[in-house]
Amino acid sequence: DAKTTQPTSMDCAEGRAANLPCNHSTISGNEYVYWYRQIHSQGPQYIIHGLKNNETNEMASLIITEDRKSSTLILPHATLRDTAVYYCIVRVNYGGATNKLIFGTGTLLAVQP
Amino acid sequence: GAVVSQHPSWVICKSGTSVKIECRSLDFQATTMFWYRQFPKQSLMLMATSNEGSKATYEQGVEKDKFLINHASLTLSTLTVTSAHPEDSSFYICSARVTATNYGYTFGSGTRLTVV
């Protein structure tokens, strides 16, 4: 299973862009990169996912390197409510029937006023 | 759309008793649900995968006789912590695959279990 590596924590000033890196050097060709976040004592919230192309939605942008060994989640204008643990996950596939999300340690993003 | 409702949000029980946690898919059918456990300041740990109408698949090291999972319908999965002990105190979260959406997975709001 492909593993991910993320910094333990990051700070970001309110209103500035938050760039959260993730390494997934052992990712295989058919594995997607998912990003979720977890605000304290809540269930994880989906942010964005991608395979090889850069993706953008109303919450964030996902930049995946050409070799797919790393990616960056960009929150364009961070607010205090974006303070959370951000998880970068590579989706595993067992026998094609069940895809599990295995969480790593994540990055605690603290948005500072 | 694609909401998973998890109840209760918190529960306190006495050591030795059993506790049931419910996870319902409100507006979709969930053939596959996942159960996670999270200790303070730690990441989510996958406990088991449940498929409607069949036995759950447990991750290595998770006691299937202690954590009973039932997924008898396409909208309901339950996790029962049997003979709970203080070390079972944790945050339990369910998740469901949503094949009809772009992102594929949605999570419940979690259940804080405290065993005293």
Q: What pLDDT is recorded for position B100?
A: 63
Q: CA B26: distance to chain centroid?
A: 16
Contact B63, B43 (CB under 8 A): no
The beta-carbon neighbor of A43 closest among B49, B104, B107 is: B107
pLDDT digits (tens, 9 = 90+) for B63-98: 999 999 999 899 999 999 999 999 999 999 999 987
CB contact under 8 A, B104 and A100: no
Question: What residues in B contact A98, CB-CB < 8 Å?
Answer: 32, 49, 51, 57
Give the confidence band of A94 by pLDDT, cuts at 50, 70, 90.
Answer: very low
Mean model confidence pLDDT for chain B: 92
| Mean pLDDT computed over A97-108 | 81
The B67-73 sheet, strands edge to edge = B4-7, B19-25, B76-81, B67-73
Q: What pLDDT is recorded for position A92?
A: 62
Q: Is A100 on the interface with B (CB under 8 A)?
A: yes
Q: What pLDDT is recorded for position A16?
A: 97
pLDDT digits (tens, 9 = 90+) for B7-64: 999 999 999 999 999 999 998 888 889 999 999 999 999 999 998 888 899 999 999 9
DSSP chain A: ----B--SEEEEETTS-EEEEEE-TT--TTPPEEEEEE-TTS--EEEEEESSS-EE-SS-EEEE-TTSSEEEEEESS--GGG-EEEEEEEPP-BTTTB--------EEEEEE-
Q: What is the CA radius of gyration of chain B?
A: 13
Structure tokens of B77?
A: 């999965």
Q: What pLDDT is recorded for position A1?
A: 56
Q: What pLDDT is recorded for position A97?
A: 43
Give the confidence band of A98 by pLDDT, cuts at 50, 70, 90.
Answer: low
Phi, psi torsion values for B86, nearest 5 degrees: -55, -30
pLDDT digits (tens, 9 = 90+) for A5-42: 999 999 999 999 999 999 999 998 888 899 999 998 89
Q: Is the pLDDT of residue A77 over 90?
A: yes
Q: What pLDDT is recorded for position B61?
A: 94
Quick one: what percent of chain A has pLDDT higher than 90? Answer: 73
Chain B residues in contact with chain A using a Cβ-Cβ cutoff of 8 Å: 4, 6, 32, 34, 36, 43-46, 49, 51, 57, 91, 93, 95, 97, 103-110, 112
